[in-house]
Amino acid sequence: MTSWITTTDHKRIGLLYFWTAFGFFLIGGLEALLIRLQLAQPNGHLVGAETYNQLFTMHGTTMVFLALMPLSASFFNYIVPLQIGARDVAFPRLNAFSYWVFLLGGLLLNASWLAGPLFHASQLNVAPDGGWFGYANLTERQFSPGPNIDFWLLGLQILGISSLAAGFNFIVTILNMRAPGMKMMRVPTFTWMTLVTQFLVITAFPVITVALAFLLFDRFFGTHFYVTQAGATPLLWQHLFWLFGHPEVYILILPAMGIVSEVLPTFARKPLFGYTVVVFSGVLIGFMGWGVWSHHMFSVGLGPIADSVFAGTTMLIAVPTGVKIFNWIATLWGGDIRGTTALHFAVGFIAMFIIGGLSGVTHASPPADLQQTDTYYVVAHIHYVLFGGTVLGLFAGMYYWWPKMTGRLLSEPLGKWHFWLTFVGMNVAFFPMHFIGLLGMPRRIYTYAPELGVARLNLVSTLGAILIGVAVLVFLWNVWRTRTHGRPAPNDPWGGATLEWSIPSPPPVYNFSVIPTVANRLPRWKTEHHEPMRDPPAVPPATIHVPGGSWWPLVAALGLPVLALAPLTHTLWLAFLGVAILLLGIYRWAFEPFEA
């Protein structure tokens, strides 16, 4: 137990990320089910307006910041060092700090469900209720007087620290800790996409940090960054939020694209088609993701010139995305395709992401978007991208790397059930939303009139959501069963080309007994010019240095939620206490004796 709390081993931190994020994924899913049950019929009465607004706010916030990003992070942690032939990340204790900050930030956000009595609120729950996008000036104290928005902005600030720390850590790791011979153009695609994602994290998160700091000042110190009566424009928030928010979309999707780029070649028994093009289109998407933010704001009235420019940049970003899809299909073409569960999910990613991408093109066109934005049509779109894309991609990664991470193979028959239930469920849940939106139902409404004519479609969508819930239960059952009944995994159950398959499953604490020397991009495969590499010997030489455990990352992380409690509860001494804990943690961390 203690060894898990003080761990600095990237593999253990990866597993901690995984289970924490999956727990939040279940909470976010439960919130989604409540939303769907409320909307299953017109004039629904399951929850009231306030609770509903909290549910969709927390569903979005949870899925983006507490489930999908950290699930990707669990693979960054576990897999990236293995793929580049390293013994750990560059800053193992900073890595532990990132995890603890993420956990505490997530707990703080969700504590709002039960914190009502602390604030003399009439309800138990004072969860955030301003939407995951938290548009000013609705989030100002004047219109949202309770602690709800405070929980949201303080929670997000804390989570941002976690993401930034991890971002720097992985950039340094990937750039500096590659095995000898692993030039940048020999780096596995998943690690490449991780690198692009981390650059997006360290550049995009400061933007929302600033936006949230303005909001914090407005709410606690009476500044006027978003106060319209004082001459401010609430559009400042929208520009800042989406300047962060659009790169954030790529932060969510690029890791899944990286996973798919690993899974397809392995099971098609063929190298990734156009590796260089796939990598550079990923980089290009990362750059172009910065120039499209105002397509979230076409109804704001930015004027025809701005609308035209952002429509153009948004359509352009479809080009590198399309290139990736064509390269994936070309990877499958001519292959010897093994229909594993991981491959099912990876192909499901492609099939569904195409739909999300194409509906995206329809609202890249500002006039068309004026009928679509803020309706269920866009809800359909984002779920085809983030569920059909990111979630299916992450599940592909789970089936693919589960044996490496746990030493046992998930059941393939249960996996197929999981896949087909998910695939059918998501299409039943999200496809009707296109029509619901085109028929005029806005999003973020807790009730709708029967006259709208969308009751039946909503009911179908709810049934699909329940099917997705069943699919997740099948997955959990599979995981539970695999603990005891799963087939033990050899080093390489799939015949993979990359370094993580050259070592035992799960790997020993030092990963590689001998750091491999990499001669080409697919070191474990025989190609025209290369014989496969020899896997490192199972018996390690006597002296391998691995970093020891440390309490101080956890102590430092604990300072942050204490600090956040100060404004939440209007208690000044808590701020000093929080800063003291943070400084103590950092000080002791910095001077911790260097021991093996």
Active site residue 461: no
Task: Yes or no: say if 392 and 345 are a contact pair by the CB < 8 Å rule.
Answer: yes
Of 52, 132, 377, 400, catalytic? 132
Query: Could you say whether residue 42 binds other proteins (CB under 8 A)?
Result: no
Q: Which of the residues 563 through 582 are near other proteins (CB under 8 A)?
A: none
Residue whose token pair is 């981390």: 198
Structure tokens at 213: 């700091």
DSSP reduced 3-state for 166: helix
Which amino acid, residue 593?
Answer: P
Q: CA–CA separation, 589 vs 591, rounded Å?
A: 6
63 DSSP assignment: I
Are the beta carbons of 399 and 410 closer than 8 angstroms?
A: yes
Q: Site for other proteins (CB under 8 A): which residue of 168, 217, 435, 477? A: 435
Kindly name the residue from 239, 296, 363, 404 that is annotated as catalytic. Answer: 296
Identify the active-site residue in 162, 197, 373, 498.
162
Asked about 295 being catalytic, the answer comes back as yes
**C-alpha dist (Å) from residue 384 to 194, 388, 390, 440:** 22, 4, 9, 20
The answer to whether residue 274 forms part of the interface with other proteins (CB under 8 A) is yes
117 vs 312, beta carbon nearer other proteins: 312
Of 10, 12, 270, 324, the catalytic one is 324
Q: Which DSSP letter does residue 271 get?
A: P
Q: 3-state class of 487 per DSSP?
A: strand
Residues 219-248 that bind other proteins (CB under 8 A): 228, 231-235
Is 261 catalytic? The answer is yes
Cβ 320 to other proteins, closest distance in Å? 8
**Chain CA centroid to CA 456, Å:** 32
Query: What is the total count of residues that contact other proteins (CB under 8 A)?
Result: 100
Name 409's bridge partners.
487
CB atoms within 10 A of CB 90: 18
324 is known as an active-site residue: yes
Q: Which stretch binds other proteins (CB under 8 A): 16-24, 295-303, 390-398, 563-571?
A: 295-303
371 is a site residue for other proteins (CB under 8 A) = yes
Specify the residue, 54 or 74, whose C-beta has the smaller distance to other proteins: 54
Restricting to residues 311-330, which ones interact with other proteins according to CB under 8 A? 311-312, 315-316, 318-319, 322-323, 325-327, 329-330
Q: Which residue of the set 61, 139, 163, 406 is catalytic?
A: 163
Q: Is 205 in the site for other proteins (CB under 8 A)?
A: no
Q: Helix (H, G, I), strand (E, B), or coil: what is residue 441?
A: coil
Least distance to other proteins from the beta carbon of 29, Å? 22
132 is catalytic: yes
Tokens standing for residue 196? 């692009």
**CA-closest candidate to residue 390, choices 248, 189, 195, 196:** 248
Binders in 94-133 for other proteins, by CB under 8 A: 129-131
385 near 253, Cβ under 8 Å?
yes
**Cβ-based nearer residue to other proteins, 187 or 560:** 187
Closest distance between other proteins and the C-beta of residue 412, in Å? 14
Active site residue 162: yes
Considering 261, 341, 406, 502, which one is annotated as catalytic?
Answer: 261
Q: Which range, of 150-158, 366-374, 390-398, 483-491, touches other proteins by CB under 8 A?
A: 366-374
Using rule CB under 8 A, residue 389 touches other proteins: no
Residue 138 touching other proteins (CB under 8 A): yes
Is residue 550 part of the annotated active site? The answer reads no
**Within 13 Å and on the Cβ side, how many CA atoms surround 258?**
29
Which one among 9, 31, 262, 307 touches other proteins, defined by CB under 8 A?
307
Measure Cα distances from 120 to 117, 124, 125, 229, 401 in Å: 5, 9, 11, 29, 47
Minimum gap (Å) between residue 539 Cβ and other proteins: 32
CA 503 to chain centre: 27
- Tokens 């093996």 label which residue? 596
**Exactly one of 93, 246, 383, 404 is catalytic; which is it?**
246
Contact 386, 132 (CB under 8 A): no
Peptide bond into 176 cis (omega under 30): no
Nearer to other proteins, 222 or 301 (CB): 301
Minimum distance from residue 252 beta carbon to other proteins (Å): 21
* Residue 88 appears among annotated catalytic residues: yes
DSSP state of 181: T
For position 46 contacting other proteins by CB under 8 A, the verdict is no
Decide: is 442 part of the binding site for other proteins (CB under 8 A).
yes
DSSP 3-state of 534: coil
- 314 in active site: no
Pair of tokens at residue 281:
């289109």
- Contact stretch for other proteins (CB under 8 A) within 108-116, 524-532, 549-557, 566-574: 524-532
Any idea which residues carry the catalytic annotation? 59, 88, 132, 162-163, 246, 248, 250, 261, 295-296, 321, 324, 443
